[in-house]
Structure 1
């Protein structure tokens, strides 16, 4: 078909009837309602501030309330931007790792293949261990939480999601063991864009789910288990893992 690129695949998020397309339509339809709510909140702040103090203070209160609501809506919108574009977030995570993690002595490999398990977005190797990181963008309304050690997604058990990620990490650990001749645990991590992630970090069923911006602090708070020499040895072994095509796009 004319007008379509043979190099860039079609993005399902841009097709009419997709969840992203419906979300955009609902967001546009709700614009007037959001403005009415903001105006009502600002008016209430103006009245209360004027009654309690004076007109200038009332005007200041109205501006602050309107600005706070605008900022909150913007943050809400920005949080779902990766999902709305039909992306998974691997490029954003790669930038975070490059800017805030690599200079701390961590080695990062992007886009590696684990035979039988598919593609791995990032392998982070450092003194705190080896972390296998996968990215996922989810709808804004999706809820992810931990309860009594179990993972729940939209109030339903998330055991399948945890098992798939955990098994991929176990397969990566097995490949490193074959190359090094000793056990090297690999910890499964999922970076989530969008959705409602309980307290910004959920750890359940052997899997950690968190926001990209929390990765550096999360890594820094972990205990050191490898010396620099051991880190280099593990990194060199990990470099022999097959490279996927994705590695060309996240650098």
Structure 2
């Protein structure tokens, strides 16, 4: 059986994990090479500053090797949602609650207008209202804006953007009508995996890394709601929006 036969029919996620395991030996070899470089730097620093050569050599090699191991593991963990090992909504929910609840924001998870698509998180606070959804792409998918268009790799991202914009508008309409408070909702998409440096805004949505979502919300208020309005909107959302299991 050829290597091609062995991977034929496997999902990209399974293939990625198999290649990761297969390349462990090569990563260790490259880490050893880098550690030698760190050793050389440690020796040079020891002579430059009159320090212990053996200690600095060990420290230099250890720091480089540890840094390389941490970087490799974090790169692998960044694909955990895409590989189905973790749930993106759980990661984002924890990040949102940690940063926003103490600032007067309320987060409702898994909400939808009856008959419409659901969103993973609805954030209501002094600065406005946001919907936050989660998506995962493979590590080689470049997420970018060219002109006015959103691209996910070589494909247009219009379908993804339109779905989130539509559900945001539906949620805003219901909340405004039922609460009596004018609401405009900004749609955000937390991206797990893919090639995305910080954030991309295109076709009505903003895509960004999960750790940056709370900061985006805090730095970009769209409204000025007082405590009573925040509570009213949160209670209204809890009452009229369908909770997804």
TM-score above 0.5: yes
For residues 232-251 of structure 1, the aligned pairs below 5 Å read: 232-246=231-245
| Partner SS, residue 144 of structure 2 | strand
**What's the offset of the Cα at 1:155?**
4.1
Q: Give, in whole Å, the separation in 2 of the partners of 1:242 and 1:165.
A: 16
**8 Å contact kept, 1:88–1:136:** no
Please give the TM-score of this superposition, normalised by the length of structure 2. 0.83
RMSD in angstroms over aligned alpha carbons? 2.2
Q: Which moved more, 1:229-238 or 1:100-109?
A: 229-238
1:103 counterpart = 2:102 = yes
Q: Give, in whole Å, the separation in 2 of the partners of 1:89 and 1:195.
A: 13
1:8-41 Cα deviation digits (max 9, x unpaired): xxxxxxxx82222111101111111111111112
1:229 counterpart = 2:228 = yes
Residues matched between the structures, number: 230
**What's the offset of the Cα at 1:107?**
1.2
List alignment gaps of at least 5 residues for structure 1.
1-15, 247-251
**8 Å contact kept, 2:119–2:131:** yes
Q: Paired residue for 1:24?
A: 17
Q: Give, in whole Å, the separation in 1 of the partners of 2:66 and 2:95.
A: 28
| Partner SS, residue 85 of structure 1 | coil
Which of 32, 38, 44 matches 1:45?
38
Q: Paired residue for 1:34?
A: 27
Q: Paired residue for 2:201?
A: 203
Q: Paired residue for 2:125?
A: 126
Q: Give, in whole Å, the separation in 2 of the partners of 1:180 and 1:75.
A: 44
**8 Å contact kept, 1:90–1:135:** yes
Q: Give, in whole Å, the separation in 2 of the partners of 1:160 and 1:88.
A: 22
**8 Å contact kept, 2:110–2:243:** yes
| Partner SS, residue 73 of structure 1 | helix
1:91-147 Cα deviation digits (max 9, x unpaired): 222222222211210111111122333222111101111111111222222221233
Q: Give, in whole Å, the separation in 1 of the partners of 2:66 and 2:173.
A: 53
1:224-246 Cα deviation digits (max 9, x unpaired): 52222222222222122343343
1:43-96 Cα deviation digits (max 9, x unpaired): 233345546755434443222221211111121112112222355411222222
